[in-house]
Chains A and B, each alone.
Chain A
Amino acid sequence: MGFLPMAVVVVITTVVAGGLIFLLRRLNGMTSDVSIRSGTASQNRGPAASKYRSEARATGAALLIGCSVASLMSLISSWWGQGYGLPFALAGGAGTVVGLLAYSLWPRPAWTAEVGTPVVAELEPRGVTTFARERVFVLPLTAAIMLVLGLLLAGVYSATDEHGLHRVFQRRSLSGWAVENGQVSDVQYNISSSGPFPGWYYGVPMIIGTALMICVVYWSLHRIAAAPRPPSADLFDLDRSLRSLATTFVMAASSSALAFQIAGLGIITGIVLRSSHTDPVPTIDSSLPPGTIAVEPGHSLALTLILVSILVGITAVVLLVKAVTISTNLQSLARTISNPNHEPAR
C-alpha cells in the first residue's frame, strides 16, 4: 500500500472512530459504570484518583504504542517487497503484544496502607475472569481458535509459488480450445495459481502470533486480578470498578486486533476463492474473450466469507473505539474522584 492510500485509510478510520466515540459516549455514558460513594473519605480520594489517572495513562500508552507498532509493520510490508505482505499480516498481533506488554509494565502507584493501621481483605478468590462477563472472554477465545483452525485448513489447501513459498491457491484455468464446424472442440486446461492465499507461509507465523497474543492477554488479565486490593473497605467499590474497566480495555483492544486479523484474512481468502471458483467457458467466436460461469457452492461461500469478514471488520472498529473510550473515560473519572463536584465529560 502506498503512502497516499494509507493516509486516506488512516484519516477515514480516525473520522469513523471519532464519530463512533461521540455516539458511544452519548448513548452509553460509560462514566456511570463507576459509582463514587458519597461516603468515600476525602483522604482516600487522592490515592484513588491517582490510580485512575495512571490507568488512563497506561491504556493511552498501550493504544499509542500498539497502533504505532502495527503501522510500522504495515510500512515495513510496503517497503519489503520480498516479504509478500507477511509483516502486514502480523501487524495486528505484533501491535497487540507490544501494546499489552507496555500496558502491563507501565508503572502504577500501589494502594498503600498507613503503618500500624488495620488492613482488611476479602475472602473471595480473584481470577482472570472475575472482572467481566464470561462472554467477554469466551467469544474472543473461540474466534482465536477458529482463526487457527482456518489457517491450518488454508495451509493444507495452499500450494507453493515460483519461490517455493506456500502462499498461493491452485486453480484450473483455460489455456486454449479449437472451433470445428461451429462447435467448440479440443478444450485444454492448465493449472494456474491465485494469491496471496493464507498458506503455511502466512499461517505458521500467524498461528505463533495468535498463541503469543493469547499468552500476553492472559498475563495482563492475571496482573489486573492479582494486584493487591486497597487496605480499606471504603475503597473496594472504586477498586473493583477500576479492575473491571482495565479488564474490559484489555479484552476490547486485543479482540479488536484479532477481529482485524480475521477480517483481513477472510476478505483476501474470499477474493482468491471467489476468482478460483469461476470457470472460463470457451466461445465459438475466437475473437471474443472466454465467458465465465460460477462454480457453486464455492463461489457463493467465498462471497459469504467476504461479507462476514466485512462485518467482523466493522466489529473490530467498534471494539477499538470501545478501548479508546475506556481510556478517555478513565481520565475523566480521575477528575471526578478527586473533585466530586466536577461533572464527568460526556
Chain B
Amino acid sequence: MINVDPSSTISPVEQIRSQLAAQIQAGQLTPDTKLPPVRQLAADLRVAPGTVGKAYKELESAGLIRTARAAGTRVNPGHATTEPLIKAAQTLAERANRQGLTLTEAQGLLAHTWKTIQPS
C-alpha cells in the first residue's frame, strides 16, 4: 500500500516514487511483481495520471521497474536489500523506539555512524 498526503510539502510524484522505491528495496515488492496500471493508481490516489506516470518513469530510469506494453509495469530483480540488512534495520528501529528516540533522531544516529565508517 502507498499513500499520498496532499498537504505535504513533498510533491505527490516524489511521495509515490520514494514509497515504491522503498518497498522494492525492502523486498516488500518482489521481483516481477506487477504494479497497478497508471490510470488505476492515479484514480485510487486522486492524482492526475501524469503524476503516477512521472513517478513510474523515474523508477524506470533508476532501473527499479520495467514497462512493457503487454506485460504491464513490473518490478526488476536485483534491487532488494538483503535479508540481514532488513533485520538489522528492524532491530535498530525497535531499540531506538524503546529508548524513546524519534525517527529523525534515529536517522541522525545512523547518519553519524555512517560517516564514522566511511574511509577518509
Q: Which residues of A contact B (CB under 8 A)?
A: 113, 115-126, 226-229, 231, 233
Contacts and interface: CB of A to CB of B under 8 A. Distances in A.
Contacts of A123: 1-2, 20, 23, 29, 33, 35-36, 41
Contacts of B72: 125
B43 A115 contact: no
Chain A interface mostly:
loop
B44 interface: yes
B42 to A, nearest CB: 9
A125 B34 contact: yes
B40 A226 contact: yes
B3 A226 contact: no
B46 A226 contact: no
B1 A228 contact: no
B39 A119 contact: no
Interface residues of B, number: 23
Contact of B4 (A118, A126, A233): A118
Given A124-B36, A126-B40, A231 B1 contact: no
Given A116-B6, A116-B7, A233-B1, A121 B44 contact: yes
Interface string B1-13: 1111111000000
B3 A119 contact: yes
Contacts of A122: 1, 36, 44
A125 B4 contact: no
A231 B34 contact: no
Given A119-B46, A120-B3, A125-B34, 15 more contacts: A115-B6, A116-B7, A117-B6, A117-B7, A118-B6, A120-B2, A121-B36, A123-B35, A123-B41, A125-B35, A125-B37, A126-B36, A226-B39, A226-B40, A228-B46
Contacts of B37: 125
Interface string B90-118: 00000000000000000000000000000
B59 interface: no
B45 interface: yes
8 contacts: A116-B7, A118-B5, A118-B6, A119-B6, A121-B4, A123-B1, A123-B20, A126-B36
A228 B49 CA distance: 13
B35 A121 contact: no
Contacts of B3: 118-121
B1 A226 contact: no
Interface in B52-97: 72
A125 B72 CA distance: 10
